[in-house]
Amino acid sequence: MENKLKIAVIGGGSWATAIAKILLTNTSSINWYMRRQDQIDDFIRYGKNPRYLTALTFDTSRINFTSDINAVVRDSDVLIFATPSPFLKLHLKKLRRKLNKKIIITAIKGIVPDENMIVSDYFHQKYNVPLERIAVLAGPCHAEEVSLERLSYLTIACGDRDLARVLASYFENHFVHTAVCDDVYGIEVSSVMKNTYALIAGVCHGLRYGDNFHAVLIANALQEMNRFCNAVNPMPRSIDESAYLGDLLVTSYSKFSRNRQFGTMIGKGYSVKTAQQEMEMIAEGYYGTKCIHEINERYQVTMPILDATYKILYQRVSPIVAIRELTASLM
């Protein structure tokens, strides 16, 4: 089975590019869908992504590029979605082929806007993909470090553990270690929530809060994440594993974290709108915060950090005021 799977990457950003690099260490060729034909043309011309991870070069003879979503679905067994969550529906808009017999891997660390659904549920409910054929790719793995072949860790979560192991074999190499689990919901929701926490960590950094407070903030964020996951999808899980805690830490601390960068700009006085305009890439935490907040209106989990982030982003509460109020609720 491993040798017969035809794998496709969906997306043209930095994470999609990093995933393609990983895959090409284990398979002779991949299919790669990008929405814009001019980006594909430039990629083939220069041998690299013209916009993201531009120092990373590829042997384009091993890549079957297409801007036709139906063609890539037709020609692939496994579809790895690595687009920003706000653009997922745009990519799928022209899809006419069925997905129910495909294997879907979501590498999207966000929630489908307007649906308030995690991506795996979206494919299951809207496209009738069986849950056992949907996997989530997550963990502390910045695209920039993958491009430099710095040691990284990925977890593949799938209800079918045997399938998870097969899929993991395509990602395991000398600079990526893999693990498998069956906590699809927990891994996916944690991947969304850590962006919110990285964003507010950036706000605090911009406001010149120090390392001591940052440590307390992230410790409380982990507890908050655990409470929400257990309320919405109760099952045995170890929140201190790398797919949860590790991803939270790297996103909150790293200079490569776009969510932290976005938050830092807000903390330094940029308006939310101006910070968005200045950012060259999507900060998923902006969208994820609203979605998790709205989902939590049903569950009423105590989430002071997420609430503070929501106030800053959507209720125009001053970051200084919101963080000052937050400090009183942390321990």
Q: Where are the domains of the chain?
A: 7-182, 192-327
pLDDT tens for 278-328 read 987 788 999 999 999 999 999 999 999 999 999 999 999 999 999 999 999
How far apart CA 151 and CA 105 sit, in angstroms, is: 22
Between vectors from CA 112 to CA 154 and to CA 163, what angle results, nearest 5°? 40
| pTM listed for this prediction | 0.95
Given this structure, which CATH class describes domain 7-182?
A: alpha beta
- The CATH number assigned to the domain with range 192-327 reads 1.10.1040.10
Strand partners, 81: 10, 106
Residue 1 has pLDDT above 70, yes or no: no
Contact (CB, 8 A) for 86 and 115? no
- Would you tell me the crossing angle of helices 211-232 and 304-314 to the nearest 10 degrees? 100
Q: What is the CA radius of gyration of the chain?
A: 19
Task: Name the average pLDDT for the chain.
Answer: 95
Strand partners, 10: 33, 81
Chain center to CA of 216? 24
How far apart CA 23 and CA 273 sit, in angstroms, is: 36
Per-residue pLDDT, averaged over 158-184, amounts to: 97
Instruction: Give residue 6's identity as a one-letter amino acid code.
Output: K
Is 10 in a helix, a strand, or coil? strand
**Torsions phi, psi of 8, nearest 5?**
-125, 145
pLDDT tens for 68-112 read 999 999 999 999 999 999 999 999 999 999 999 999 999 998 899
Query: How is residue 133 annotated by DSSP?
Result: G
Specify the pLDDT at position 331: 81
Specify the pLDDT at position 2: 46
